[in-house]
Structure 1
Amino acid sequence: MPVVRIYLPVGRRELEHLQVTGTVDASPSSPRQGFAVTDELRSRTPNADVEELEYAAFADAVAASASARSAPGDRRVVAATDADPEWVSTGGGGAVSSVALVAPVPMSRIASFHVDEDRGVPDDGGQSDDLLWYDVTELAEVRTLLG
């Protein structure tokens, strides 16, 4: 079955919820913004390959992750998830890669976390998107990084 790679900006509260329940919550009545390779992104960058498109969606998620921080000094965190296509609705607003996640994502569908190396990275509109990679099994370590 095909899946859609979605990059979800997450904060301390969402990571705690994920640790406790094993899911990232979303529903049709309470969608969650994510970022993915959309038709609009493809049409705006027709010569880009798959890796370039994925990176563009990731960079948009990093930029949005600044607003998911509980405090300005928190690290930005992005969860890379593999969602079923029916869990995703296009037109999530904002960036051309924006999508709306309309179904919960179980921990088994999270591939990795991407986290700022240092605390207090300023909100620079995603210009600094060089984040560290953590496997999904390292959720406790990611939570520790956030304090």
Structure 2
Amino acid sequence: MRIYLPLLAPDRPSLQDGRKVIDLDAGRAAWAVTAEARTDRPEQDEEDLEYEALQDAVHIAFTAAGSSERVLVIAADIPDGLVAAATEDGGAFGIRVRERRSAKIASFHVTEQSAAAADVDDTDPALLWFDAGEGRDALAFLGAAPIA
């Protein structure tokens, strides 16, 4: 299952060191396309659902970011049975990791705009894609001056 994880401080060393896996604590919030989300949206294809789950993770990350900050979301893969629905506080795509686990990093997504700029824009935030081996580059872009 592909999950989307807003970057947390403990994740940074994995990205900085170029690791291909990230350690997840039990209870870690993430966003993913679950069977329930598919059932609730039969008219949407898998790609659209994945996009929505990623954007939900981005929007949650913005709530924790300073107004001048960009945000980074990690896309990672774990077995389906290791997640539980968390729709009560995570929206339609909210999940929680059931147990401490390592997840294989698939890619990184960093917003082009700062949280404040994205807040006044009426479209989904534009994201730059970084390969799983480009964690250091994704962090560098995250720290660069965002597009106003």
Distance 1:145 1:14, change over 3 A: farther
Paired with 1:9 and 1:126, the residues of 2 have a C-alpha distance of: 21
Corresponding pairs, count? 138
1:100 aligns with 2:88: no
Are residues 50 and 121 of structure 1, via their aligned partners in 2, closer, same or farther at CA, if it must alter by over 3 Å? same
Cα deviation digits, residues 45-69 of structure 1 (max 9, x gap): 1111111111111111111121343
Aligned to 1:83: 78
| Unaligned 5+ runs, structure 2 | 144-148
- The alpha-carbon distance between structure 1 residues 131 and 21, as it changes in their structure 2 partners (threshold 3 A), is closer
Q: How far is 1:113 from its partner?
A: 0.4
Percent sequence identity over aligned pairs:
33
| C-alpha distance 120-54 of structure 1, shift in aligned 2 (>3 A) | closer
Distance 1:50 1:35, change over 3 A: same
Post-superposition offset of 1:83: 0.8
Q: Secondary structure at the match of 1:53?
A: helix
2:69 paired with 1:74: yes
If each structure's helix is expressed as a fraction of its own residues, which one has the higher value?
A: 2
CA–CA distance in structure 1, aligned partners of residues 25 and 122 of structure 2 = 27
TM-score, length of structure 2 as denominator length:
0.77
| Matching of residue 136 in structure 1 with residue 132 in structure 2 | yes
Q: Which of residues 39, 47, 58 is equivalent to 1:62? A: 58
The residue type equivalent to 2:72 in the other structure is V
2:12 paired with 1:16: yes
2:31 alignment partner in structure 1: 35
Task: Give TM-score, length-normalised by structure 1.
Answer: 0.78
Q: Distance in 2 between matches of 1:114 and 1:143?
A: 10
RMSD between aligned alpha carbons?
2.6
- Quickly say closer, same or farther: Cα 1:60–1:85, change in 2 above 3 A: same
Instruction: Look up the match of 2:146.
Output: none
- Unpaired runs of at least 5, structure 1: none
Q: 1:40 to 1:133 in 2, by over 3 A?
A: same
Whether the 8 Å CA contact 1:17–1:24 is kept in 2: the answer is: no
